[in-house]
Structure 1
């Protein structure tokens, strides 16, 4: 029998709220408004609602005829940096956009403030600010070409390629420059941009990342999720379609364009599983209801005799409720999350980092003692968090621990705007389900099947293997857009079966 590997080594970084690198992280969220007085206040509220999509840094840009473009970029939470008092008088105007982000690696410092979006460029026909959610998979090649042709980059962000491509376009208007630029770009992009008078939203041809349209009085709103519309009292109108560009102004209203060749939609299925807030709407479906249905499908596929169904807070909660309802096993809060931990509240020494999960989660000992417990979580990435939670449950006296995972095994990295470990660090890339069960040390471990996940998100017949309805590359290894830069660096795509 093959010897099971020891726990993957985690990168050394200050302790924060990112689950010791054992969760997939969406890297950013975007928000924009036009036609609303004191736009910056609305943008700050929208970014606050999108904080789950990026907690490292945020930025806001506005325009006012008397003051021109103004901007603010800060590290940390929106609530700490963009209060009404801090915005008053410094970010005037009735048009503005904002961005929240995760950094993918390394510590924060002054040298990285240049990477905080929105980015800005001044062209002959006026300035443009741009915020991007996603990842450009041919950014290395574009960057090399642009530098060789004289472009001078100010950041390490792949999004800056769009600004330089726009600058080199021979088109006269900024929307036309943007069309030119984005036709050169590969990968995933939901872009919110602004000129002095126009708010612009664009999704890539397969629509990997989300972008929605709303209205607030006479104003218009673009956001990564509908929950950001709710916070400012805006009405959800529709999703921006894959491959669509909308150009909105207070004077001319909304105009829609189709600058790209038509392609089948491949929206990220993990938005349904984890990234989006449960109170958002995706594809006309409540994210919360979809996650509860995932739990129902999981209970049908992987039943077990047990006394309690407990979520791993907070992302496993809706699926655990669905699992409980379908299985008839009582639902209980066997693990309690410390809602007030925030980020680094004490010196992040090695000893504190090793405490990891215990700083965020605590077991309800009186509830689980002597019980057979089903733990429902959204995913297993490196597996280190799952192992620590299992140890905590056993220490609290549980008789059995059964893990049920509300997504298929994550065996492939994402190149479309998600901070994913390299493939060798993904537990499912090197182990079978049985080996993962033994390594984590639980009585049983089951993942929902890919077909089960598709059924839960509304595809009654499951996944169409000839033409998948979603981007599920992190599970299947089938990438809807070839990750050109990574292939050039030696990344091996999944061989055809």
Structure 2
């Protein structure tokens, strides 16, 4: 493509580059049976920081001091490495949560920071939730009408109120009854005075794993959180399973009606850390295979394969290996700029993506460059990266995307823009190519993505192995709250 001028003013243009990525909403971690458990939780949350950078919290229990909690905005490293703070969280049992809000109000509202705590007749309990309840508005309305008083805007607080209204004799029994009324995605780590509890929704949308460190037992969103404390991976909590861990050991329950498991496919594309193992598969190896499959589907003659760091790196390696085109780090990431980076002048704010990414000009000049990224949401970041590559003297720019077009919003624990803000919902692939101003653009096919995950025949439209609604619009559970607000599902024939 010879046209190098930018597209006219477009509804996808925005300086909000952070909003041009899909975000997981949180990560959870819990441990029972080790002195100063809160310190281990802090380490686990640090490993899960990629799942939520807005805020974090820890609740611990000590027989002498009871339940204690700390909730803070910002990064784990900036809060939970403070020795004075950590001394206020004694005990051998603790759970924690890192948050990037997908429900409730956006912004700094400390009462929305988990874990949430409730005092019941049989004792206190704290709960940390990863996922999104698709019937939370309906539940909240019914609970308020029956006298519940909410302290937060989070859907997760519904679980505490449902537990309070249960007549179950134990906290695990109350949690079972509460969660049977919830729809959507939930991977939960909870605690009582003596028990660590893990629950995964019947579809297993969000991950949850179990580990061991000596005599201590651990629950975490990902295996990388086990690695950071030197713990042994035991197994995943299965879809629809509840585990109750105490001094007696691990008890397993099946409190829900069985459903066909559909773990979130985007965990492999972007959310999980590449050094984690998910569903028995190395996330890194899956992403590398996605790149290989993308090279088979969308080859192009070029001089180098360049990832958009860091999420595009494994796929770029796979694309390079399959195509034989050299892999080069043509873009370098500034590792010291976080998502909360704020500068006082508009001139510096307008630098946008340049604060985080810089082009290796000596490497790029005069070269035909294949850029590999994990996804395109609104196109804002992709377009600015293309500008930077061309300004550095690239001869050609080709985009290859390691996921199918993001066409539908997610209501199961991914923070996505409204459908009208998703560029692939408004433009064809050719129109997106022209809007970005690149020489070519190709996404991996949905069948290709499934093949990279080991599904030899691609996606089975009648029984897909993964939750993939952001690509297909096929929601395994109708998002009743959003439908009530006016969201329209995909027509049956589409």
TM tier, smaller: over 0.9
> What is the deviation of 1:11?
7.8
Distance in 2 between the 1:159 and 1:106 partners?
A: 13
Contact 1:20 1:356 in 2 (8 A): no
User: Is 1:221–2:218 an aligned residue pair?
Assistant: yes
> What is the deviation of 1:107?
6.5
> What is the deviation of 1:122?
0.3
Contact 1:4 1:435 in 2 (8 A): no
1:490 paired residue among 469, 482, 486: 486
Distance in 2 between the 1:345 and 1:405 partners?
A: 27
User: Is 1:136–2:133 an aligned residue pair?
Assistant: yes
CA-based RMSD: 1.4
Contact 2:55 2:74 in 1 (8 A): yes
2:303 paired residue among 303, 307, 328: 307
Contact 1:27 1:418 in 2 (8 A): yes
> What is the deviation of 1:182?
0.2
User: Is 1:52–2:16 an aligned residue pair?
Assistant: no
Contact 1:41 1:84 in 2 (8 A): no
Contact 2:105 2:153 in 1 (8 A): no
Distance in 1 between the 2:244 and 2:393 partners?
A: 59
User: Is 1:444–2:445 an aligned residue pair?
Assistant: no
The alignment partner of 1:268 has SS state of: coil
> What is the deviation of 1:89?
2.5
Structure 1 pair 29–127 and aligned structure 2 pair: CA distance change class (3 A): same
> What is the deviation of 1:199?
0.3
Equivalence for 2:3:
none
The alignment partner of 2:488 has SS state of: coil
Equivalence for 1:201:
198
Equivalence for 1:470:
466
2:427 paired residue among 426, 431, 442: 431
Alignment of 1:306-325 (within 5 A): 306-325=302-321
> What is the deviation of 1:496?
1.2
TM-score, normalised to structure 2, is 0.96
> Would you identify which runs of 4 or more consecutive aligned residues in structure 1 move more than 4 Å?
104-107, 343-346
The alignment partner of 2:57 has SS state of: strand
Distance in 1 between the 2:474 and 2:195 partners?
A: 37
Alignment of 1:88-237 (within 5 A): 88-104=86-102, 108-109=107-108, 112-237=109-234
Distance in 2 between the 1:411 and 1:326 partners?
A: 28
Structure 1 pair 281–217 and aligned structure 2 pair: CA distance change class (3 A): same
Distance in 2 between the 1:89 and 1:473 partners?
A: 44
TM-score, normalised to structure 1, is 0.96
The alignment partner of 2:288 has SS state of: helix
Distance in 1 between the 2:413 and 2:106 partners?
A: 19
User: Is 1:460–2:464 an aligned residue pair?
Assistant: no
Q: Deviations over 1:366-396 (max 9, x none)?
A: 1111110000000000000000000000000
Distance in 2 between the 1:45 and 1:346 partners?
A: 26
Count of paired positions: 486
Equivalence for 1:8:
12
Distance in 2 between the 1:283 and 1:237 partners?
A: 13
Distance in 2 between the 1:86 and 1:44 partners?
A: 14
> What is the deviation of 1:417?
1.0
Query: Which blocks of at least 5 consecutive residues in structure 2 are unaligned?
Result: 1-6
Structure 1 pair 441–9 and aligned structure 2 pair: CA distance change class (3 A): closer
Distance in 2 between the 1:413 and 1:11 partners?
A: 21
> What is the deviation of 1:351?
2.7
Equivalence for 2:274:
278
User: Is 1:357–2:353 an aligned residue pair?
Assistant: yes
Distance in 1 between the 2:139 and 2:129 partners?
A: 16
> What is the deviation of 1:5?
6.4
Equivalence for 2:40:
42
Equivalence for 2:262:
266
Equivalence for 1:86:
84
Distance in 1 between the 2:239 and 2:466 partners?
A: 12
Equivalence for 2:29:
31
Contact 1:59 1:116 in 2 (8 A): yes
The alignment partner of 2:95 has SS state of: strand
Distance in 1 between the 2:78 and 2:121 partners?
A: 36
Query: Which blocks of at least 5 consecutive residues in structure 1 are unaligned?
Result: 13-18
Contact 2:474 2:490 in 1 (8 A): yes
Equivalence for 1:408:
404
The alignment partner of 1:471 has SS state of: coil
Contact 2:15 2:352 in 1 (8 A): no
The alignment partner of 2:350 has SS state of: helix
The alignment partner of 2:343 has SS state of: coil
Equivalence for 1:294:
290
Structure 1 pair 259–165 and aligned structure 2 pair: CA distance change class (3 A): same
> What is the deviation of 1:348?
4.4
